[in-house]
């Protein structure tokens, strides 16, 4: 065993022994720890800052001390004078190993003072970006060796940085001479390298030291576009913003947008332009917020459902409107930002994550990348509820995906008093099983309806309808209070006990709200929820069949809908299979996080590409058992299966006999609207 000092890097935990005098940056490189360095160890960029921990790390058997590093060198002195080096910080290109060390790689190495970071979700994504800044000093022209200016630049990039056989973006040909002269033969090259089998490209060039490199990660939802601006040099998210998808003016849901394309000769172009314009505006917004130059954006990743994916890329989505739901392209797309009319650095590249299937898009792939069922042994169910629910189920051994035609009921459509989640919408409901009286919470009012001040607030705001999460809760609470039976029928006999139960033709309704506007849950509303949840559950159950499992270990609700619904009520209604409630969680915009992972680390791109190739795609419409599961799942929570874990956590009503599900419901036409 060598006597060389032991160096441990945190947070990665990578360790190795290095001879005294080894620059810490070199040690990091040898261990594959990603420490940024734009200037290549010249001590001028300040990107390679590290901190040395002080103390005894018993677990690792290391006693680390700032004394175990070489004293402040000339490069660090000069840097500290010119810029600023916080106490405890060292430049790892200058600081050399002199004894055992624990080295922290700070995540905040930002030169900009105006760093915003407010939008960071705190997740640490290990960096291995496709973009690298490389400062070089280029030989001056020599008549004895008349290599072109660009050729000598390439020579320097190979000599100092090991970039052999670089491709060069065409737009740089006309600029390279003036940039080299402006920088007096000192320039910063921006290199993009993604696919391992492709050649790295020189995509931008700056005179002197250029210390800025940004990327965009973006989730194009059919309702909302969410964008994150992240630093390729530190990994930090410094601005996030969202905007309504302007394609809404062509059609609220996905199918109506496909119809618009089919009906209008310029429909595809108009919608492509609308989304790209919105992206350019969002880029302006995040750049303004962060105070950065949009020309310093070099790499972008996008996710979205298949129709958003196609319209963004300029592809006619008509084929996605009917069987066999053929994607134009399912694999990851690599292209230029300029091909997509994005106004940023002309050399910037775009990576679009792969789609899983015609109904399961790059957004579902991104959620999978974020939550990582393929990285673990536990069987995870991921559900992203929209007009179609996207379902991913499995673990590292086997992963399946499908979509189920839930219809728009969960989004408040097809519900008599349903509405979008907006101020004035009822979002939470509790029903007293004795009195059958409801308590509600309304979006925009931070009080329950039986709390002081609510009535006044409600009168001011106006209570206008019930949103998706409210629908789930009211139907589940009606079931728990015995107002509806397991087969979903509202019990008219309770009208004798409560004036909330009222006749409505030959069926009964439940009066949820009495105000300017009376909000009533009808028998048809309950049926709509039953149909939607049966479709979702049948899809999930189908995947469980394929895996031959009866329960799942964890459940993740992705997307906006998932963020608002209470897992307990989702399970009471039987949207999702039986599971420990504390293993069910909402993961918010996991698709956006997946886009961020892909932009910061190209290993994640290869990871999701390989994962998507391996995922087994199940087409629910072609599976004979889907119909059977659908019929069973009409019941609350489900006719055919017990929910023992749920029953242990929630007092379920005694199961009554379930009426047969209406004929014809199982064969509903597939509808789409997305998240």
Segment interacting with a copy of itself, rule: CB under 8 A, options 2-10, 322-330, 448-456, 593-601: 322-330
- Binding flags for a copy of itself, 364-403, as an x/- string (CB under 8 A): ----------------------------------------
Taking a C-beta distance cutoff of 8 angstroms, is the pair 100, 62 a contact?
yes
In sequence order, the β-bridge partners of residue 621 are none
Q: Is 3 in the site for a copy of itself (CB under 8 A)?
A: no
Q: What's the rounded Cα separation, in Å, for the pair 81 and 304?
A: 47
Radius of gyration of the chain (CA): 29
Q: What's the rounded Cα separation, in Å, for the pair 98 and 5?
A: 7
DSSP 327: -
Q: What's the rounded Cα separation, in Å, for the pair 319 and 576?
A: 31
Q: Shortest distance, CB of residue 555 to a copy of itself, whole angstroms?
A: 24
**Helix, strand, coil tally for the chain in percent (to 5):** 35, 25, 45
Q: Is 322 in the site for a copy of itself (CB under 8 A)?
A: no
Q: Is 667 in the site for a copy of itself (CB under 8 A)?
A: no
One residue of 53, 80, 115, 328 binding a copy of itself per CB under 8 A: 328
Taking a C-beta distance cutoff of 8 angstroms, is the pair 7, 16 a contact?
yes
Closer residue to a copy of itself (CB): 245 or 272: 272
CA distances from 151 to 121, 146, 278, 536 (A): 43, 10, 39, 59
Q: Within 13 Å, how many C-alpha atoms sit on residue 58's CB side?
A: 0
Q: Which two tokens stand for residue 105?
A: 């790689």
One residue of 142, 266, 452, 657 binding a copy of itself per CB under 8 A: 142
One residue of 74, 124, 496, 622 binding a copy of itself per CB under 8 A: 622
In sequence order, the β-bridge partners of residue 242 are 226
One residue of 3, 21, 124, 197 binding a copy of itself per CB under 8 A: 197
Q: Is 324 in the site for a copy of itself (CB under 8 A)?
A: yes
Q: Is 147 in the site for a copy of itself (CB under 8 A)?
A: yes
Q: Is 199 in the site for a copy of itself (CB under 8 A)?
A: yes
One residue of 195, 489, 495, 652 binding a copy of itself per CB under 8 A: 195
Closer residue to a copy of itself (CB): 237 or 611: 611
Q: Shortest distance, CB of residue 501 to a copy of itself, whole angstroms?
A: 45
Q: Which helix (H) or strand (E) holds 269?
A: helix 267-290
**Binding residues among 345-364 for a copy of itself as defined by CB under 8 A:** 355-358
One residue of 165, 397, 657, 660 binding a copy of itself per CB under 8 A: 165
Q: Is 669 in the site for a copy of itself (CB under 8 A)?
A: no
Q: Is 167 in the site for a copy of itself (CB under 8 A)?
A: yes
Q: Is 329 in the site for a copy of itself (CB under 8 A)?
A: yes
Closer residue to a copy of itself (CB): 324 or 462: 324
Q: Which two tokens stand for residue 485?
A: 């039976």
Q: Within 13 Å, how many C-alpha atoms sit on residue 1's CB side?
A: 4
Alpha carbon of residue 152 to chain centroid: 42
One residue of 58, 87, 170, 496 binding a copy of itself per CB under 8 A: 170
Closer residue to a copy of itself (CB): 356 or 661: 356
Taking a C-beta distance cutoff of 8 angstroms, is the pair 412, 420 a contact?
yes
- Contact partners, residue 592, CB within 8 Å, separation at least 6: 217, 218, 219, 226, 228, 303, 366
Residues of the shown chain interacting with a copy of itself in the complex, contacts defined by CB under 8 A: 141-151, 154, 165, 167-168, 170, 173-174, 176-178, 195, 197-199, 313-316, 319, 323-331, 333-336, 339, 355-358, 617, 619, 621-622
């Amino acid at each position: 065993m060598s006597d060389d000092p032991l160096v441990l890097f945190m947070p990665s935990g990578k360790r190795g022994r290095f001879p005294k005098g080894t620059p810490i940056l070199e040690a990091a490189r040898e261990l594959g720890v990603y420490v940024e360095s734009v200037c290549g160890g010249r001590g001028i960029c300040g990107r390679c800052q590290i901190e040395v921990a002080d103390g005894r790390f018993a677990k690792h058997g290391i006693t680390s001390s700032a004394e175990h590093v070489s004293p402040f060198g000339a490069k660090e002195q000069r840097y500290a004078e010119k810029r600023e080096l916080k106490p405890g910080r060292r430049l790892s290109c200058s600081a050399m190993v002199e004894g055992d060390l624990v080295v922290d790689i700070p995540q905040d190495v930002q030169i900009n003072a105006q760093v915003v970071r407010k939008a960071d979700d705190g997740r640490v994504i290990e960096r291995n970006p496709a973009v690298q800044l490389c400062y070089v000093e280029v030989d001056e022209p020599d008549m004895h060796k008349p290599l072109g200016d660009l050729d000598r630049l390439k020579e320097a990039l190979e000599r100092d940085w090991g970039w052999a056989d670089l491709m060069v973006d065409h737009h740089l040909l006309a600029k390279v001479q003036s940039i080299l002269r402006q920088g007096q033969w000192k320039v910063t090259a921006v290199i993009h390298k993604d696919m391992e089998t492709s050649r790295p490209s020189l995509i931008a060039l700056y005179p002197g030291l250029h210390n800025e490199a940004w990327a965009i990660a973006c989730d194009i939802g059919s309702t909302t576009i969410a964008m994150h601006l992240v630093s390729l040099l530190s990994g930090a998210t410094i601005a996030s913003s969202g905007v309504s998808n302007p394609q809404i003016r062509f059609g609220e849901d996905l199918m109506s947008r496909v119809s618009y394309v089919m009906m209008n000769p310029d429909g595809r172009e108009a919608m492509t332009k609308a989304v790209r314009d919105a992206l350019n505006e969002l880029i302006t917004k995040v750049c303004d917020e962060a105070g950065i130059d949009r020309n310093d954006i070099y790499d972008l990743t996008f996710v979205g459902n298949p129709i958003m994916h196609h319209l963004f890329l300029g592809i006619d989505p008509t084929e996605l409107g009917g069987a066999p739901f053929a994607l134009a392209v399912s694999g990851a797309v690599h292209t230029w930002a300029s091909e997509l009319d994005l106004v940023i650095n002309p050399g910037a590249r775009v990576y679009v994550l792969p789609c899983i299937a015609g109904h399961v898009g790059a957004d579902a792939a991104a959620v999978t990348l974020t939550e990582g069922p393929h990285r673990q042994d536990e069987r995870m169910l991921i559900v992203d509820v929209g007009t179609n629910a996207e379902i991913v189920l499995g673990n590292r051994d086997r992963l399946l995906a499908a979509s189920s035609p839930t219809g728009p009921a969960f989004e408040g459509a097809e519900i008599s008093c349903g509405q979008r989640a907006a101020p004035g919408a009822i979002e939470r409901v509790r029903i007293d099983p004795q009195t059958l009286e409801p308590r509600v919470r309304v979006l925009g009012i931070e009080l329950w309806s039986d709390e002081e001040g609510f009535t006044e607030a409600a009168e001011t705001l106006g209570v206008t309808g019930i949103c998706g999460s409210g629908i789930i809760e009211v139907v589940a609470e009606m079931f728990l209070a015995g107002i509806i039976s397991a087969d979903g029928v509202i019990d008219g006999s309770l009208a004798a006990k409560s004036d909330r139960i009222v006749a409505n033709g030959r069926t009964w309704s439940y009066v949820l709200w009495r105000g300017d506007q009376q909000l009533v849950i009808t028998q048809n509303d309950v049926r709509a929820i039953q149909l939607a949840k049966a479709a979702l559950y049948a899809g999930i159950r189908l995947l469980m069949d394929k895996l031959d499992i009866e329960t799942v270990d964890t459940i993740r609700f992705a997307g906006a809908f998932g963020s608002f619904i209470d897992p307990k009520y989702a399970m009471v209604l039987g949207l999702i299979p039986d599971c420990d409630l504390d293993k069910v969680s909402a993961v918010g915009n996991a698709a956006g996080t997946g886009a961020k992972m892909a932009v910061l680390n190209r290993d994640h791109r290869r990871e999701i590409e390989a994962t998507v190739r391996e995922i087994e795609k199940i087409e629910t419409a072609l599976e004979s058992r889907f119909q059977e599961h659908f019929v069973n799942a009409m019941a609350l929570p489900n006719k055919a299966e017990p929910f023992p874990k749920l029953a242990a956590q929630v007092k379920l009503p005694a199961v009554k006999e379930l009426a047969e599900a209406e004929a014809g419901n199982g064969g509903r036409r597939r509808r789409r609207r997305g998240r």
